[in-house]
Amino acid sequence: MEEYGKILVIAMPAFLLLIIIEKAYGYFKGNDTAPLMDTVSSLSSGITNAVKDVLGVSVSILTYEWMESKVAIFTIENTILTYIIAFFVIDFYGYWTHRWSHQINIFWNKHAIHHSSEEFNLACALRQSISSFVNLFTFLLLPAAFLGVPAKVIAIVLPLHLFLQFWYHTKHIGKMGILEKIIVTPSHHRVHHAINKEYLDKNHGQIFIFWDKWFGTFQEELKEVPAVFGITRPAQTWNPIKINFQHLWLLIQDAWRAENWKDKLRIWFMPTGWRPQGFEEKYPVYKIEDVYAFKKYQPNHSSLLTYYSIIQLFVTLGFVSLLFANVVSIGLPTIFIYGLFVFVTIYSLTELMDTNPNAYFFELFRAFLGIGILYFYGDWFGLNEQFLVGNYILGMYFIVSFMISYYFSNYEFHTPTYLRS
């Protein structure tokens, strides 16, 4: 938890810089693939995922360390070869967990957030799940456990493997020659994120593309089929917390409505999107039929709201950086209070971005929570020791944020002539 927090303190500015570079490059080339509100939503999702991981609220039914202690045939040292073996095994593990997340109803819920952006850019790589609390697939690391790859090596390679999946979420890089046959490239991954019928559920590889070629899920990007991005049941919100549970909520409703026990049970494990017979007519859910004709989610809002959302995002990144850098000193259970504050912040901000007229209620709750923390602890988790007037500045910040949210919710959102961002 502490080590991962320190890694994120370094990784977050690097990711943010690359996202800004991609935005600037697209703007000057006349091909901006990163609309501001979509980008803020993606980064907000990344924040919630990172906080969830640092808080350690996920568990593995089967831990690698236990598995390695029970089945290892060899004992090997930490050499370059050990790390290479770990990397390949983790990528094999990643391919199958990724594929099953697309193919099995219940597992799609934890992955839908990653595909929910209707754009394709570096920021959407950060749309990661907060709804996966249990890891069922550690057994896929058995090849590494048999070979005696130490748990410490797996712990080091796993985040590295994850971060290496960031770069290929872009439309600005074309096909890459011979590399197309070996690694996952932007072209391969554009296919994966597309909702065109030619591309659905293809290219599940995370670093190496040969898994898809071996297991029959490979599809090349076609010039005559321009990729259209998103999910076939569009999220219709910028709120990443809502998106994380939309599919699960539909499954719960359908399981409750199902008339026979067979459907109530099997709905969870059927192919993604399956519903009991007649449910599409009886309980319709909007689904994109013509990928070239649907309207992307873009509620009308003023430029002022866009700029305010960006400012609040950077302030939130400041809060999160403080948490990640001081996980140990903040300690348990206080870090969960801090985590709650971050989640409420993201929820409030993205409801405002959705132009929800009731968004100010969430901001009011956040203000009470923030000021309550200041009152109860007499400090913002040690900030006042480094910055003497920190408490007063934060108190004013919570009040001003509520007032601005109230203005948007009760004045701008009720104005019939919004400007389109």
- Each residue's pLDDT tens digit, 84-134: 999 999 999 999 999 999 999 999 999 999 999 999 999 999 999 998 877
Q: Is residue 93 part of a domain?
A: yes
Is it the case that residue 1 has pLDDT exceeding 60? no
Provide the domain limits for residue 351.
303-414
| Amino acid identity at 158 | L
Q: Given pLDDT bands bounded at 50, 70 and 90, which one contains residue 6? A: confident
pTM score above 0.75: yes
Work out the percent of the chain whose per-residue pLDDT is above 70: 97
* Res 2: pLDDT: 59
Higher-confidence residue of 193 and 137: namely: 193
From residue 153, alpha-carbon distances to 82, 133, 145, 156 in Å are: 8, 23, 11, 5
**Together in a domain, 182 and 310:** no
Q: How many residues can be counted in the chain?
A: 421
**Together in a domain, 322 and 204:** no
Q: How far apart are CA 119 and CA 170, in angstroms?
A: 9
DSSP β-ladder status, 59-60 and 134-135: parallel
Q: Is residue 364 part of a domain?
A: yes
Domain boundary pick from 194, 215, 236: 215
Kindly provide the b/e burial profile for residues 345-380, where b requires at least 16 CB atoms within 10 angstroms of the residue's own CB: bbbbbbbbbbbbeebbebbbebbebbeebbeeeeeb
* Res 162: pLDDT: 94
The string of pLDDT tens digits covering residues 227-252 is 999 999 999 999 999 999 999 999 99
Q: Is residue 274 part of a domain?
A: no
Higher-confidence residue of 389 and 337: namely: 337
Q: How far apart are CA 52 and CA 132, in angstroms?
A: 10
Domain boundary pick from 215, 236, 271: 215
* Res 419: pLDDT: 44
Q: Is residue 132 part of a domain?
A: yes
**Together in a domain, 205 and 75:** yes
Q: Which residues pair with 329 in a beta bridge?
A: none
**Together in a domain, 179 and 322:** no
Q: Is residue 382 part of a domain?
A: yes
Is it the case that residue 417 has pLDDT exceeding 60? no
Q: Which residue has the tokens 């934060």?
A: 394
Count: domains in the chain: 2
Is 43 exposed, middle or buried (CB count within 10 Å of its CB: 0-12, 13-18, 19+)? buried
Domain boundary pick from 195, 215, 235: 215
**Together in a domain, 199 and 318:** no
Work out the percent of the chain whose per-residue pLDDT is above 90: 80
Q: Is residue 296 part of a domain?
A: no
**Together in a domain, 207 and 313:** no
Q: Is residue 100 part of a domain?
A: yes
The mean pLDDT of the chain is 93
**Together in a domain, 95 and 192:** yes
Q: Which two tokens stand for residue 357?
A: 């007229």
SS (H, E, C) 189-250: HHHHHECCCCCCCCCCCCCECHHHHHHCCCCCCCCCCCCCECCCCCCCCCCHHHHHHHHHHH
The string of pLDDT tens digits covering residues 164-206 is 999 999 999 999 999 999 999 999 999 999 999 999 999 999 9
**Together in a domain, 177 and 54:** yes
How many CB atoms are located within 10 Å of the residue 332 CB? 11
- At residue 264, the 3 state secondary structure works out as helix
